Amino acid sequence: MTPRQNAPRRLMRELHQIMASTDEAEVRLNNVVHLVASNMEAEVCSAYFIRDRDILELFATEGLKLEAVHNTRLQVGEGLVGLVASTGASLNLSNAQEHPKFVYRPETGEESYKSMMAVPILRTGKVVGVLVLQNQASRHYLEEEEEALQTVAMVLAELVVSGDLITAQEQSDGDAERGVVTRFVGTVFAEGLAEGVVVMHEPRVEIIQHLSEDYDYQRGRLVKGFKKLLCQIDEIMSAEDILHHGEHREILDVYKLFALDKGWRAKIERAIETGLTAEAAVQKIQIENRSKMIKTDDPYFKERLSDLDDLANRLIRHLMGKAGTAASKELPQNAVVIARNMGPAELLEYDREKLKAVLLQEGSQSSHVSIVARALGIPMLGKLEEGLLDIDEGEEIIVHGLDGEIFIAPPPEILETYRDAIAARVTLLARYDDMRDKPAITKDGVKIELVVNGGLAMDIEGMHRTGAAGVGLFRTEFQFMISKTLPRVRAQAQFYKSIIDSARNKPVTFRTLDIGGDKEVSFLKRDHEENPALGWRAIRIGLDRPALLRYQLRALITAAADTTLRIMFPMITNVEEFKLAKAILEKELSRHQRNKRPMPKDIKVGTMLEVPSLVWQLDELLPLVDFVSIGSNDLMQFFYACDRENPKMSNRYDTLSPSSLGMLRFIVEKCSAGNVPLTLCGEIGGEKVGALALLAIGFRRLSIAPAAVGPVKMMINSLNLSDVERFSDKLLSLSDPSLRSNFEAFARDNDVSI
Ligand code: PEP
Ligand code: MG
């Protein structure tokens, strides 16, 4: 051990003794500032803590006038100490008084001190105080000194965690008086209103023990922690190409790079050598990285900062044995879960009784996690601003999933407006309920068939509740996604039968397994793919692993005994694939017949139309199919070469454009000439203005989320179809990138309810 390594160890040892003593918190704090001042050869060491959310109060000092303790108070943002608190970045100044933010507090007697170093005291990433060092002589503190002060500041956070020095109440008091409300705005992915408390999907954990002198033990823990972290990253990366590709993939690449970075690991090991526990060492290095990166102007580094925070947080959670998501923990009764992003399978893991809303910093509207949220009726907002992940767990929160707003710690007036919104929504939902048994028919007498998209047993209930005519798309993969093992044929058959039975003679169209892309199933390991949406997914897996498809078809045939079986295949790219899939079905049907099992009364076999290439084979395809169902989510992602999961892309190209509507109209005309029933089952059909445009170009059957049936039916009932048909005729030849505002204007001018 070199003398340079020895000095921090000595400081840590003495710090350890002070913190481990049974003295009162304030006494321990006084001892710490005294120790730091003498060990670091400073005339002053002072500790400020935040009270009433944004008041910094001097709690202890060595060197300043003692009467200033508990009297000197600064606003966060005021003076140099306030600056450190508001930015979270440390300051190292050889002449503090020259700094434009310097303010002089006579009661402290600090006029004679020229140099100053101040570091934030952080608790789970948030500033809870500031630790300051001052010297009379003008000097620049060394990097090692800054690191040492940061370590002490980190350990001091323990006093806040224990609540002995300042209670959580004292920290946050004042919000109510001043009416401090935090408001975030995002995009509505699934409509609804919710009131609850914040739960972090990947919770930050509080470090309880910072100091340890058992270096070998801590090093051993670190090795194990890294192993688990790397395993987790590999696991997420192999699944992540399914879960969140695009932008998220980049983040994971960076994760992996940093996780493998020898420099990072060596720094953590060195921090352990100074007497920190493994988790405190990770935190210390992260605080240092943070304080360096926060000062750079490079936007790339600034963006990477939260990725690194995430990574360090993951490693700390592994070290503390708390690696799972909040879904595996006890949830409060009204949880509003906040995440950077999540996959559909992760959402399905939550207890639905307790999950009231989900807020994503990223996400996109047509991603499967949003589709699942809509299917579950869970309000979901996405693309929320930076800072979302810094909200404290347990905060009260209101989610206005109609306007796309959330409010943290809402005061009474906002609560009142929110409750008014709930009442209005209840009235509106009651109006939709009243329309349940009325047909969806336009003012000029054209009947439109509304069916629902589903994937869970509860969707059938949604179908009955809304009076929809059946299930136009049953996403069978949801059952597979929530299962840890491959569901057996018998379990699948029972599930499909329960769906058919509960649909009570209304038709249900089952889509065979559509896994891959962003839909992960735990029992099928897949190779890493650069472009998973364009990769091995849906029917491509079914044709390459025919056993998987055959067993599913067997289960569907069994479940549909004596009724009509309606089946369609996802992601069919050419006629040949449809023929191959249908041949597998026919083989299974013959097998069933040979075994003298009860057969379905009738079988209708169709295809999803989600890949543009198939649009150019409709003449060959249509004679072979009983029906066609357009999956506009995928069709549009391939049509525009625009990843549906990538939040940066989600508003880039409008599905209501002359080109896409032109293609859809072409399909309508082909199917109509071929006398083949056509449905559209993508998300645009569930938006009122989207549905309006689709009717205008000839669609008469839409499969939409149960929650969209009421609003879309109301739109249909208020529409004169021939008017919008005439209106859209001229529009499709425009060169505009979007016709959305034209359809909106039409609706406004013609009193169509959108
Ligand atoms: C679609 O692609 O439009 C569709 C309905 O299928 P999914 O959203 O499940 O991919
Ligand atoms: Mg699809």
Compute the distance from residue 631 Cα to the ligand 2 centre, in Å. Answer: 5
Task: Give the per-residue SS3 of 146-178.
Answer: HHHHHHHHHHHHHHHHHCCCCCHHHHHCCHHHH
Return the residue whose CA atom lies nearest to atom 10 of ligand 1. Answer: 634
Return the residue whose CA atom lies nearest to atom 3 of ligand 1. Answer: 631
Q: Are residues 148 and 211 in the same domain?
A: no
* Domain termination site, one of 308, 324, 340: 324
Q: Are residues 215 and 148 in the same domain?
A: no
Nearest of 540, 622, 524 to residue 581 by alpha carbon: 540
Q: How many CB atoms lie within 10 A of CB 436?
A: 14
Q: Which two tokens stand for residue 382?
A: 């996405």
User: Which atom of ligand 1 lies nearest, measured to the CA of 366?
Assistant: 8
Position 487 in a domain: yes
Q: What pLDDT is stored for residue 648 in this prediction?
A: 78
How much helix, strand and coil, in percent to the nearest 5, is found in the chain? 50, 15, 35
Compute the distance from residue 748 Cα to the ligand 2 centre, in Å. Answer: 32
What residue ranges of the chain have pLDDT lower than 50?
1-4, 175-180, 240-248
H or E element, residue 489: helix 489-503
Q: Are residues 139 and 240 in the same domain?
A: no
> Which bound ligand lies closest to the C-alpha atom of 365?
1
Position 224 in a domain: yes
H or E element, residue 461: helix 457-466
Spatial neighbors of 620 by CB under 8 A, at least 6 apart, are 575
Q: Are residues 144 and 254 in the same domain?
A: no
* Domain termination site, one of 294, 309, 324: 324
Identify the CATH number of the domain in which residue 256 sits.
Answer: 1.10.274.10
User: Which atom of ligand 1 lies nearest, measured to the CA of 682?
Assistant: 3
Give the mutation target among 475, 640, 667, 699 for probing the ligand 1 site: most ligand atoms within 8 A of CB.
475
Domain count, the chain: 3
Q: Are residues 170 and 209 in the same domain?
A: no
How many whole angstroms separate alpha carbon 586 and alpha carbon 550?
A: 10
Cα separation values, 258 from 27, 30, 248, 287, 728, Å: 40, 38, 15, 15, 53
Domain that holds residue 622: 448-712
Q: Are residues 140 and 269 in the same domain?
A: no
Position 333 in a domain: no
Position 717 in a domain: no
Compute the distance from residue 583 Cα to the ligand 2 centre, in Å. Answer: 22
Q: Are residues 28 and 164 in the same domain?
A: yes
b/e map 155-186, b = 16+ CB within 10 Å: bbbbbbbeeebbeeebbbeebeeeeeebebeb
Per the listing, tokens 């491959």 go with: 486
Q: Are residues 471 and 603 in the same domain?
A: yes
Identify the CATH number of the domain in which residue 11 sits.
Answer: 3.30.450.40
Nearest of 399, 352, 398, 343 to residue 371 by alpha carbon: 343
> Which bound ligand lies closest to the C-alpha atom of 630?
1
Give the mutation target among 452, 537, 541, 634 for probing the ligand 1 site: most ligand atoms within 8 A of CB.
634
Q: What pLDDT is stored for residue 238 in this prediction?
A: 61
pTM score above 0.75: no
Q: Are residues 159 and 244 in the same domain?
A: no
User: Which atom of ligand 1 lies nearest, measured to the CA of 632?
Assistant: 3
Whether the Cβ atoms of residue 361 and residue 390 lie closer than 8 Å to each other = no
Q: Are residues 463 and 572 in the same domain?
A: yes
Q: What pLDDT is stored for residue 252 in this prediction?
A: 61
Position 507 in a domain: yes
Q: Are residues 149 and 298 in the same domain?
A: no
Q: Are residues 508 and 622 in the same domain?
A: yes
How many whole angstroms separate alpha carbon 216 and alpha carbon 520?
A: 40
How many whole angstroms separate alpha carbon 724 and alpha carbon 703?
A: 21
Position 644 in a domain: yes
Q: What pLDDT is stored for residue 472 in this prediction?
A: 97
Residues with beta carbon inside 6 Å of ligand 1?
Answer: 371, 473, 475, 514, 610, 631-634, 681-682
